[in-house]
Amino acid sequence: MVLTFQVVTLDSNSPDQEGSLVFRDGRLLAVITRLSDIHPELAGRWFVEATFGRVPIVYPPPFETIDEFEDWVTNAE
């Protein structure tokens, strides 16, 4: 499994605009956002906006690093 990332700007109607498309083996798997400072305790963390394939009914807590997000994707299989 190879994860690749493509930086995008989100139109989220909020200051949370810095995001990334996440591809698994070339197919779109998730959209993640770097949280802005409107989230005082979570600013800078990566939030999973949407996933395809395995839909998380329980929202995972925002990840501190991309590595943590990758671990979550791997373990969600």
Partner 1 sequence: MVANHANVLSTITDKLQSLGMLDQSDRDALGSLVFTVNTAPANHDLVKQGEVSTDLQVLLDGYACRYKITAEGARQIVSFHVPGDILDAQQLLLGCADHFVQTITSVTIGAVPLAEFRRIMKLRPNVAEALWRDTLIDASIYREWVLNVGKRDMTSRIAHMLCEFAFRRENAGLGPPGRCELPINQHQIADATGLSAVHVNRVLHELARNGLIAPDKPEVTIVDWPQLCRIGDFDPSYLHGAA
Phi then psi for residue 31, to 5 deg, are: -120, 125
CB of 33 to partner 1, least distance (A): 8
Return the residue of 42, 51, 66, 72 that touches partner 1, per CB under 8 A. Answer: 42
Burial of 57 (0-12, 13-18, 19+ CB in 10 A): exposed
Return the residue of 1, 2, 55, 57 that touches partner 1, per CB under 8 A. Answer: 57
For residues 61 and 9, give the distance between their C-alpha atoms in angstroms, rounded to a whole number: 22
For residues 31 and 7, give the distance between their C-alpha atoms in angstroms, rounded to a whole number: 10
Query: Would you count residue 13 as binding partner 1 (CB under 8 A)?
Result: yes
Query: Would you count residue 35 as binding partner 1 (CB under 8 A)?
Result: yes
Residues that bind partner 1 (CB under 8 A): 12-14, 16, 35, 38-39, 42, 47, 57-59, 62
